[in-house]
Amino acid sequence: MVSGVEFLRNVNLSNKVEVGKRVTVIGGGDVAIDAARSALRIGAKEVSIIYRRSRKEMPANPEEIESAISEGINIEFLTAPVEVLANNNKVISLRCQRMKLGSPDASGRRRPVLIEGSEFEIETDMVIPAIGQASDLSMIGESDGVKISGKKTVAVDPVTLASDKEGIFAGGDCVSGPWIAIEAVAAGKKAAISIDRYLRKEDLRAGREEKIASAKEEDTPLMPKPKAPRQIMSSLPLDSRKAGFAEVELGFTEEEAAKEANRCLNCGICSECMQCVAACKAEAIDHNMSEKTIEINVGSIILSPGFECFDPSADKLAKFGGYTSLISQYGYGKYPNVVTSIEFERILSASGPYKGHLSRPSDLKTPHKIAWIQCVGSRDVTCNSGYCSSVCCMYAIKEAVIAKEHSPEPLDISIMYMDMRSYGKGFDKYYERAKKEHGIHFIKSKAYGIQEIEGTGNLSLRYVTEEGKLHFEEFDMVVLSVGMKPRPAVIEMSKRLGIELDHYNFCKTDSFSPVNTSRPGIYVCGAFQGPKDIPETVMQASGAAAASAAFLSESRGELVKKKEFPPEINITGEPPRIGVFVCHCGINIGGVVNVPGVKEYAASLPDVVYVDENLYTCSQDTQELIKDKIKEYNLNRVIVASCTPRTHEPLFQETLQEQGLNKYLFELANIRDQCSWVHQQHPEEATKKAKDLVRMAVAKVRGLEPLKMISLATVPSALVVGGGIAGMVSSLNLADQGFNVSLVEKAMNLGGMARKIHYTLEGGDVQAYLNELMEKVNNHPLIKVYTKASISESSGYIGNFVTKIQVGPKKEITEIKHGAVIIATGGEEYKTKEYFYKKNSRVLSLLELESEIIKRSKKIKECRNLVMIQCVGSRDDERPYCSRVCCSESIKNAILLKDINPEANIYILYRDIRTYGLKEDFYREAREKGIIFIHYEPDAKPEVVPFKESGKEGLRVSVKDPLLGEQVIIDADLLALAIATTPPSTNKELSQFFKVPLNEDKFFLEAHMKLRPVEFATDGVFMCGLAHAPKLIEESIAQAQAAASRAGMILSRKLVQLPGTISFVNKNKCIGCGECTSVCPFGAVALDEKQHVAVVNDALCKGCGICSASCKSGAINLYGFSNSQVVSMIESL
Amino acid sequence: MEEGKESPWEPKLITFLCNWCSYAGADLAGVSRIQYPANTRTIRVPCSGRVNILYILKALQHGVDGVLVSGCHPGDCHYLSGNFSARRKFAVLSRLLEYIGIEKGRVQFSWVSAAEAGRFAEVITEVTEDVKKLGPAKRLVKNIG
């Protein structure tokens, strides 16, 4: 008789172990199984295990049990030992008893209960009890002050392993109970650290509390793949096993291993496998980071939490009055080839799932016919998204056009839409091009459902067109244009911050303060304020910054820390001493390019005095290293061979400056984006190319010179051109920020177009707002208003403009010095000749109609039939843009009129109703109030004829009703025209004064359509309001604040710094031909009439180098990209 | 120029990429891991309009087999009109090249935007293939020994 552990130890230490012929093992754990199987291998003929519960409760590994049974080991379940019978000190048998399972015990397992009279004997000559172990705690106990736990182990703190008695620590089995060796080793180390700290009288806990944040269940995605069974590993044949201790499990074959590895573990977000920690060579991943509460003292808050995409999965749709939205019929999530627009965007992306190939998910075939369904989760009250998401029409067109361009095979595209809302600047042109040049079909329709056609993966789309006809059409793929939704988390956030949300949970704002939340000092921007496109988001972002800057103007700059650089080292006359730092970029470069080889090669190049290779050259410690090496080796040129200068040049330049080197003595060789990433399969060629790029960089830097940044003092005041709402808001914000403002208005009074507008669609009182604004502007001590004034001349550049204006009837000239200018020249109503406008008193513009409504005039009170015609002068060949505001303005006036005169019939004849964003609610309200909307196409415009018959008089309007398919005739008392907004003719002059461009429609052209909507390419000049494009009052206000924010950034700095990479003239070579002056897009080069040579205005030069490339005599050159530098790069090849 | 010992002839190309569009397009090709032939050596310039015709002639004189200049699409130039200036120059240059016997296709001009990573790789592949077909450029190379 020998205990299980002792038996196994002897076996494992290869001691000669005697084993009987018939061995009986008592127990049900791994030790019992192990002992039994070992006994079999060292010569036992019959091996039994007796276990008092059933197989289900047996704690041993199920695979072990299975193997034991298959090796012929007999397991007696529900059997307990009673007595070992011996003869002459030799075991002869084991008396046992049968058991049955009773009620569960504390461990949850069912307690075995004796069956009376069931005793029996098992003949055996060796008994191995393997029924658990316990620590021998006789040496220590409660009397020593050490607490003993219920499990009869030492109770310790889990982090420090300190027992209750100071100075006594415990670990291993005496704490955990029987457990594996490695944990005992870990506990030993842990205790050692504690004891070390204890003896040094240090904090035992500091930095040791390991809490790994595990993913929340609701964040864990569902298993994306179906459940796959484990691979079954082949094992040693039974007859070979008993011969010895050869490995029973033979391992996977390559194929099995690959299959096993391919099984999805469904690890959710993070299964804490820690492989990322091992893989990240920069040691940037720390799983012990935990949530911390940080207190920051701020004077103002800007909220920009964004939005989330609408989820069209049938099970995610909200119920509405017991019904689920129609969207549930689109089969998203059920049919693989129904995808959302965001998923389609990924499909088109080069880094997407199909590497940029246009493929459909079900079979990766190239689709030939795709449909887009618009307004999925927008304009749909049944899913609580009654608003228009504002961006889907344009992104659908964009995706369709890109898909067309992308597809290697002919592609047929249909877009199923309700109204095409391409209301933004330049959008309608894009829409027209998509129709005419790309042949995309736009079908005004409602999609009712999608069915997959069995076996093909194709989809049958059921839709009804405007004429009421039902169609079934087959597509290879359907894209759902999903809308924007407020994030659910904003509800909680708004409660905490005490700000109000609207009925959709967007942030509530007012038409006249579009970036102010309901709580002073807290501002909002982006899609949290309502669905919007990128330019509007960017405008609002800058607008919120401006509002916040004005709010905090008293404490401006208090927390700003200015970075100081050491004085610059003079390197004049010194030969080049080049340092080259070659970057591994982890494995991004080093995995392909032979970095040590490149480094060694760089060392052989002329004037290179130091070379190094770094794991990450951009890391903070490498910046310190570069600085040390500049000092140690007197480096006066630095090359980093790593990634793109477009992202990393400024970082390294700053490192040079911190060591006193001019920042222009630096060059990047892009051996990642241009070598390792794009020649991954050709390491030798990539390495060769990397060497060439380094050689070219060396050739260039040998000729680099220190360049001077130009610093110019700024005049801290602004000129604002245009005294409408936009101009006044800009002026007021800048003045509130503490800057002087000159506001120039061409009319007698401030106010502009807004003087004729009385209400916003939401009901805001425009006149009250306007009067308050004018009063503030007129009375602000820092604002000087010039009315009846126009600009006659302007010169200068960012920070230093000089503009002359003519003021008053006598046109007195005043000169204004300013550091920035904001153009806010507004818009005008187009003077249309259509529809008897200005010829028949029954025909009014929208503004005129509004004025009649406000007056409650007889015309309005007696009006029985009012017809409104949309897009008069907009979206035609002459003005191919949408005037954006007319749909909302028409609906506003229609609702107002209906409220005054409920008897009136109101007809709105439209092309597309463009009540984007939250304005959609009012379109719905108008329809509910009985206003009739009739759609027309530009080739069948409404016709109007004045009539007078049988005592009745009016205008006979006829238009084709698409639903009836017939001409409808309306005898109208009044006809209101939604006339286009046009740019003022003075824009042309201004564009020349300030050297800024106009677009084809004569509105001002911004520096970037999406990302820089208030700036020009010319620094220091900004725009806002209708000067940029037609827009609503709230959008004008946001853009005006944005322009003020951008201008304020310039004015708040005492100096403007301009880059040193600009053109310069060698007077000795210049022949004064004037070619450079004519090609310069910025008017930065002028001819000096006396010396007859070209002169560069450093402040105006942008460093494009067009002048230099055009110079016949090689007299004008570009710092940083000079002719000799470029040629030396070429010659180094 | 280091030549491979026994490997077949491979052309050497110089690409002038404008900083704002084409160079950014090349970066995106890198980020997207789009593969293209390794024959090009890039020189970053602020604008395609900065490329002096002289650079192209120098490159051909120096034994470079092909040159590509790539800038922003018309209307997208960061400097408003630099790419138009470049286009005019190349219209003139191509006639000069024809006159002095440089084959068509050795010097090419393209528009690649910052978003057109795929197009960038395609352009490089095409130009490389074109120049490969034309063989080494020896016409302007001095002292061929």
Residues A444/A935, Cβ–Cβ less than 8 Å: yes
Say how far apart CA A1015 and CA A821 lie, in whole Å: 11
Q: What are the tens digits of pLDDT across the range A657-680?
A: 999 999 999 999 999 999 999 999
B94-132 as b/e: b if 16+ CB within 10 A: eeebeeeebbeebbbbbbbbbebbbbbbbbbeebbebbb
| pTM summary value | 0.76
The boundaries of the domain holding residue B51 are 15-134
With an 8 Å Cβ cutoff, are B80 and A1118 in contact? no
Q: Are strands A522-524 and B40-45 parallel, antiparallel or unpaired?
A: unpaired
B145 lies in a domain? Answer: no
Residue among B27, B38, B50 whose CB faces A1105 most closely: B50
Report residue A394 as tokens: 């344009």
| Cα-based angle A445, A448, A449 (whole degrees, multiple of 5) | 130
Q: What are the tens digits of pLDDT across the range A330-376?
A: 999 999 999 999 999 999 887 788 877 899 999 999 999 999 999 99
Q: Which of A348, A646, A678 to mutate to test the interface with B (most CBs of B within 10 A)?
A: A678
Say how far apart CA A65 and CA A1024 lie, in whole Å: 79
pLDDT score of B2 more than 70: no
The size of the A-B interface in CB pairs under 8 A is 139
| Cα-based angle A153, A155, A160 (whole degrees, multiple of 5) | 130
Say how far apart CA A718 and CA A1051 lie, in whole Å: 8
Query: Is B135 an 8 Å CB contact of chain A?
Result: no
Q: What separation in angstroms does the CA of B31 have from each of A399, A640, A644, A676, A677?
A: 21, 19, 11, 10, 7
With an 8 Å Cβ cutoff, are B81 and A673 in contact? no
Q: Which residues 338-357 of A are in CB contact (within 8 Å) with B?
A: 349-351, 356
Structurally, how many domains does chain B consist of? 1
Instruction: Kindly list the residues from chain B whose CB atom is less than 8 angstroms away from the CB atom of residue A358.
Output: none
B79 lies in a domain? Answer: yes
B139 lies in a domain? Answer: no
Residues A3/A27, Cβ–Cβ less than 8 Å: no
Q: Are strands A1021-1023 and A820-823 parallel, antiparallel or unpaired?
A: parallel
Q: Are strands A79-87 and A90-104 parallel, antiparallel or unpaired?
A: antiparallel
Say how far apart CA A593 and CA A680 lie, in whole Å: 9
Instruction: Kindly list the residues from chain B whose CB atom is less than 8 angstroms away from the CB atom of residue A672.
Output: 30
Predicted pLDDT at A212: 63
Q: How far is B50 from chain A (nearest CA, A)?
A: 5
With an 8 Å Cβ cutoff, are B85 and A1110 in contact? yes
With an 8 Å Cβ cutoff, are A1109 and B89 in contact? yes
Low-confidence ranges of chain A (pLDDT < 50): none
Q: What is the DSSP letter of A938?
A: G
Say how far apart CA A1047 and CA A734 lie, in whole Å: 8
pLDDT score of B36 more than 70: yes
Size of chain B, expressed as the number of residues it contains: 145
Q: Which residues 75-114 of B are in CB contact (within 8 Å) with A?
A: 78-82, 85-86, 89
Which residue(s) pair with A608 in the sheet? A578
Phi, psi of A1076 (to 5 degrees): -60, -40
Q: Which residues 355-374 of A are in CB contact (within 8 Å) with B?
A: 356
Strand positions, DSSP E, A243-376: 301-303, 307-309, 319-320, 323-324, 338-340, 369-376
Q: What are the tens digits of pLDDT across the range A26-53?
A: 999 889 999 999 999 888 899 999 998 8
Q: Which of B2, B19, B32 to mutate to test the interface with A (most CBs of A within 10 A)?
A: B32
Q: Which residues 898-937 of A are in CB contact (within 8 Å) with B?
A: none
B141 lies in a domain? Answer: no
Report residue A529 as tokens: 């304020």
Instruction: Kindly list the residues from chain B whose CB atom is less than 8 angstroms away from the CB atom of residue A681.
Output: 35
pLDDT score of B145 more than 60: no
Q: How far is A498 from chain B (nearest CA, A)?
A: 42
Say how far apart CA A931 and CA B39 lie, in whole Å: 67
Strand positions, DSSP E, A466-601: 470-475, 477-482, 484-486, 522-524, 578-583
Confidence band for B1, pLDDT divided at 50, 70 and 90: very low
B3 lies in a domain? Answer: no
What is the chain A residue with the closest CA to B48? Answer: A1106
B77 lies in a domain? Answer: yes
With an 8 Å Cβ cutoff, are B35 and A679 in contact? yes
B2 lies in a domain? Answer: no
With an 8 Å Cβ cutoff, are A1130 and B58 in contact? yes
ipTM over 0.85: yes
Size of chain A, expressed as the number of residues it contains: 1133
B143 lies in a domain? Answer: no
Say how far apart CA A446 and CA A451 lie, in whole Å: 16
Query: Is A95 an 8 Å CB contact of chain B?
Result: no
Q: How far is A563 from chain B (nearest CA, A)?
A: 28
With an 8 Å Cβ cutoff, are B85 and A1126 in contact? no
Say how far apart CA A360 and CA A354 lie, in whole Å: 9
Strand order in the sheet with A905-910: A843-845, A974-979, A865-872, A905-910, A932-935
